[in-house]
Amino acid sequence: MKRRDFLKGSAAIALAAGSAPLAKALEFPEQTPAPKAEESGRLIASAPLLENYAETSMGVAFAVSALANGYVLVGEKPDLSDARKVKCGGYRLCDISDKVIQVRLTGLKPATTYYYRIGADRIHYGGGYDMKIIGNEEDPTVYSFTTAGKKARAHFCVINDTHVQWDVFSRAIEKVQQIAPSCVIWNGDASNTEETIEAQMKIFLQPEIERTDYGARIPYFFCPGNHDNRGWANRHLENVWMYRQPEERPSRDWDLGRNFAVRMGDVALIGLDTAEDKLDSNPVFAGLFNSGPYREAQTVWLRDTLKRKDISSAPYLVAFCHIPLFDPRPDENPGDIAPADTAPGYKHNWAAWQRTCSRLWGPILQKAGCQVLITAHQHRYRFDPASDTGQGWAQIVGGGCSLNDSSFPTVIEGEVKAGALHITVHNAYNGTVCGEHTFGPRRHKR
Ligand SMILES: [Fe+2]
Ligand SMILES: [Fe+2]
């Protein structure tokens, strides 16, 4: 048997036996033609987007138009004379992609400003022994970012439910630029239903707005919404929005790449993922969703994370998730109506709020002294005081994606100043302030 035939036979056996790693290893050269490198045109196809703000690391993602190995030059000097080059990919192989380059910068100092540029080598891939660099491109712009940490400026913004509405997104982004916070939490439903990586790239890396470098200097978090799970491509949001490195969290939590717990000045920021707004048992999902166990795994993560010294010592604890954990209206679906999200007395056949998550996470947040939970999903701004939620924390529900007086988009700004956490809710449709809320430091024993 010729070696090539043997390899093909082995692949068939491995696939039949369900050997995923071997099948994956053989898949690229044997079954999927390598993407062709374009010979001309711009290789770097977007501004960088800073993903997953953190104390000692930072993600940089950007789009490319042809097969490339991308990198970031990063240093503390504005002229980059001290820069080091960090390539995309992990330990064993550097990555090549004809769509999205993702570089995670690690080993950074907390609350420190770094300068960076992005670049990419154009790669010819003709086979395992036929690989060449056929060009190089660097974005001439030197960007900068500042890492999180105890000494960082406690100032954040929240946007949500942008739903690929460019005008809405643009208005929210312009308000964020004007505020210039230390970081932004994008609180879900950036998507509608996205079937292709190109559609995901358009949302995050190549938006149809004037300020296409919206995330090149202000770092972002992403708390997924129910719509960010929908569509073939969104089954892998990591196509465009990286996880932090596995070594940045305990092995038990490797798969919880959307959760975050980051100290920013006097505030601890906690990110949770409420997942889908329908039950896993709903026939419309064909058994392809696993939100229940995911929420329980996050509960264990949350309990342990709130004990972390940097988090427990923060005077302010602010949590974020897409679907609200409280609703004052009895006819709003709480997301646990088995088996298919319908029952008399509820207005919708999807969750307007998440009672399961509320029961799992609410008491833990209460015990930790969380002052406020910032949510989204309902497309209408609302403030629920702690006395209403009955769980010690107040809830803010961010606005919607319509340019009108009821479902207007909001930019929620939080800042610690004069011994208090001030939250200002900006109406991004008409430019007014629609809510102002002040919270004192946590009183629990830290
Ligand atoms: Fe939404
Ligand atoms: Fe939603």
Q: State the ligand closest to the CA atom of 401.
A: 1
pTM confidence score: 0.91
The rounded Å distance from CA 227 to ligand 1 centre is 7
User: Greater confidence, 68 or 36?
Assistant: 68
Residues in the chain, how many? 446
Q: State the ligand closest to the CA atom of 402.
A: 1
Residue range 9-19, pLDDT digits in tens: 333 333 333 33
Q: What does the alpha-carbon distance between residue 250 and residue 330 come to, in Å, rounded to a whole number? A: 40
Q: State the ligand closest to the CA atom of 409.
A: 1
Q: State the ligand closest to the CA atom of 276.
A: 2
> For residues 282 and 340, is the Cβ–Cβ distance under 8 A?
yes
Give the model's confidence band at 303: pLDDT under 50 very low, under 70 low, under 90 confident, else very high.
very high
Residue appearing with tokens 């060009």: 135
Residue appearing with tokens 């090539």: 4
Give the model's confidence band at 33: pLDDT under 50 very low, under 70 low, under 90 confident, else very high.
very low
Q: State the ligand closest to the CA atom of 351.
A: 2
Alpha-helical segments (H) within 279-346: 291-305, 309-312
> Which residues on adjacent β-strands are paired with residue 439?
421
pLDDT given for residue 7 in this prediction: 32
Give the model's confidence band at 39: pLDDT under 50 very low, under 70 low, under 90 confident, else very high.
low
34: which DSSP letter?
P
The rounded Å distance from CA 188 to ligand 2 centre is 7
Give the model's confidence band at 227: pLDDT under 50 very low, under 70 low, under 90 confident, else very high.
very high
Q: What does the alpha-carbon distance between residue 334 and residue 410 come to, in Å, rounded to a whole number? A: 24
The rounded Å distance from CA 161 to ligand 2 centre is 7
**What is the number of other CB atoms lying within 10 angstroms of the CB of residue 409?**
28
Q: What does the alpha-carbon distance between residue 161 and residue 228 come to, in Å, rounded to a whole number? A: 10
Q: State the ligand closest to the CA atom of 350.
A: 2
Q: State the ligand closest to the CA atom of 229.
A: 2
> For residues 256 and 303, is the Cβ–Cβ distance under 8 A?
no
Average model confidence (pLDDT) for the chain?
92
Q: What does the alpha-carbon distance between residue 326 and residue 351 come to, in Å, rounded to a whole number? A: 11
Q: What is the average pLDDT across 285-314? A: 98
Reading the block at residue 255, the tokens are: 């798969």
The rounded Å distance from CA 376 to ligand 1 centre is 7
Q: What is the average pLDDT across 322-345? A: 98
Position 35 pLDDT exceeds 90: no
239: which DSSP letter?
G
- Residue 157's SS3 state is strand
pLDDT given for residue 246 in this prediction: 83
> For residues 320 and 374, is the Cβ–Cβ distance under 8 A?
yes
Give the model's confidence band at 22: pLDDT under 50 very low, under 70 low, under 90 confident, else very high.
very low
Residue appearing with tokens 């109506």: 337
Residue range 136-194, pLDDT digits in tens: 999 999 999 999 999 999 999 999 999 999 999 999 999 999 999 999 999 999 999 99
Residue appearing with tokens 């803010």: 396
Peptide bond into 33 cis (omega under 30): no
Position 216 pLDDT exceeds 50: yes
Position 24 pLDDT exceeds 70: no
The rounded Å distance from CA 44 to ligand 2 centre is 32
Reading the block at residue 378, the tokens are: 């309902």
Q: Are strands 410-417 and 155-159 parallel, antiparallel or unpaired?
A: antiparallel
Reading the block at residue 317, the tokens are: 């604890």
Percent above pLDDT 90 for the chain: 88
The rounded Å distance from CA 52 to ligand 2 centre is 21
pLDDT given for residue 158 in this prediction: 99
Cα distances (angstroms) measured from residue 327 to each of 166, 213, 295, 358, 437: 29, 36, 19, 10, 19
User: For residue 167, what are the contacts with CB-CB under 8 A and spacing of at least 6?
Assistant: 403
User: Among 21-25, 41-45, 89-93, 101-105, which is the least confidently predicted range?
Assistant: 21-25
Q: Are strands 130-138 and 220-222 parallel, antiparallel or unpaired?
A: unpaired
The rounded Å distance from CA 229 to ligand 1 centre is 12
Written as one string, the DSSP assignment of 83-136 is -EEEESB-SS-B--BSSEEEEEE-SPPTT-EEEEEEEEEEEEEEETTEEEEEEE
Position 198 pLDDT exceeds 50: yes
259 CB-contact burial (10 Å; exposed 0-12 / middle 13-18 / buried 19+)? buried
Position 319 pLDDT exceeds 80: yes
